[in-house]
Amino acid sequence: MRIEGEVRVLIIDTGSNISILQRGVSKSEVRLNDMRPYGVTGETLDVKGRQAVSFVLGGREFNHQFLVCSLLTEAEGLLGMDFLKESGAVADLECKKRHLQTLESAPSEWEVAQRKHCTHGLYGG
């Protein structure tokens, strides 16, 4: 992913309801935020604010709100379920692939149920 022209590494985190950036990843304004989310340990995250960030992922440009706080990882942030749902992301765990799609191109429940094997499915091998 590219944020402000720089290649950045973010973790796709389906266990996180929110997307988070570490401080300094984006130069956009950090605005006040009253949200107090909890981390995986159950402790409240030390949120510094919220940033509206434009970025390029998979050749598409997105604008998304990220909370800003320190993370116990070398990654520069997390893409949480808020972004994944909004963007139409699909994670195919069987085939170990992920991609972004528009809602119009999303497979129907029938198509997904009929897929028997990765090389014969909608995503190709």
Distance from chain centroid for Cα 111: 25
The pLDDT tens digits for 11-54 are: 988 889 999 999 999 999 999 988 787 677 778 888 999 999 99
Say what the pLDDT of residue 98 is: 58
Query: Are 48 and 68 in contact, with CB atoms under 8 Å apart?
Result: yes
Q: What is the CA radius of gyration of the chain?
A: 16
Spatial contact of 59 and 79, defined as CB atoms under 8 Å apart: no
What domains appear along the chain, each with residue ranges and CATH number?
2-86 (2.40.70.10), 88-125 (no CATH)
For residue range 67-83, list pLDDT tens digits in order. Answer: 999 888 899 999 999 99
pLDDT value of residue 97: 60
The pLDDT of 79-102, averaged and rounded, is: 74
pLDDT at 106 over 50: no
Q: What are phi and psi of 109, to 5 degrees?
A: -60, -35
User: Binning pLDDT at 50, 70 and 90, where does residue 107 land?
Assistant: very low
Please say whether the beta carbons of 39 and 17 come within 8 A: no
State residue 42's pLDDT score: 76
d(Cα 62, Cα 41) in Å, to the nearest integer? 30
